[in-house]
Structure 1
C-alpha cells in the first residue's frame, strides 16, 4: 500500500519520492544568487507554502536537479513548481527541453505564471490542489498490494 503524505479536501494523497536525482554542484554559486534575487512572485508563493503551510507539504525553494535550478520542489511528491515570468515568453523551446528532461526523471512539473501569482493567488493555490489530487490521489486502483 502506498504511504499517505497528506489529505487535500478529504482526499488521501500518496507519496511519490523520486530517488537518486542528478545534481550539478557547479550550480551552487548560481543557486545562491537566485535565492538572493528575491523575485516577487516567488516570494509571494513561498510565503503560502513554506513551513508546511500548504496541506502539511514540505516545499524546497530553488533546488538543483541535474543541470537546472527549479523554482520549487516537493521531494515527497516528485513535484516541481515553476513560476514563469515574461522572460519565459522567449524561452518556449528551452522550457520544453528542460521540462522533458525533468519528466524523464519521473518528476511532474506544475507551471504557473508570474502574473497569476501576483494577481490570482487563490486560483493558483486551488489549481495546485487540483493538480496534486489528479496526479497523486490514492485510489483503490492505485494502491500497491
Structure 2
C-alpha cells in the first residue's frame, strides 16, 4: 500500500469519528485547504475548520457512523478519493433546531490532494440539501 493511501485512510478514520483537528493534524499540511459546493459547509476553507465541523456534527448526530464504499489512489496526480456513506440521527443538542429524531443516509466523496506525504487540500463532494431535508432541518 502506498504511503499516501495509508495517510488518507488514517485521516479519514480520525475525521469521520469526530477526532477534530487534534486527531487529524498529523496527516495534513498546517494550512491545508478545504472546499465543497455545499451550503452546509459555506465559509469553511481550511481542513482544520472542517475537522472541527465534523467533531461538532457528531455531538448533534451522536450515533453518526460511516461505511467506506471505495478508496482509490492516483499516484500520478498525488490524490486519494474516498467514497463513503454517512448515517446518523439527530438526537443530540445543537444544530439548527431542537433534536428532530430524524435520520439521514448520505453519500459523499473526499478527494485528498497530497503535497509530499501530507494532505494539502481536500474537496468534499456531497449533496447536503438532501441530508438537511432528511434530518428535518429544512
- Normalised by the length of structure 1, the TM-score is 0.28
**Structure with the larger helix share:** 1
- Normalised by the length of structure 2, the TM-score is 0.29
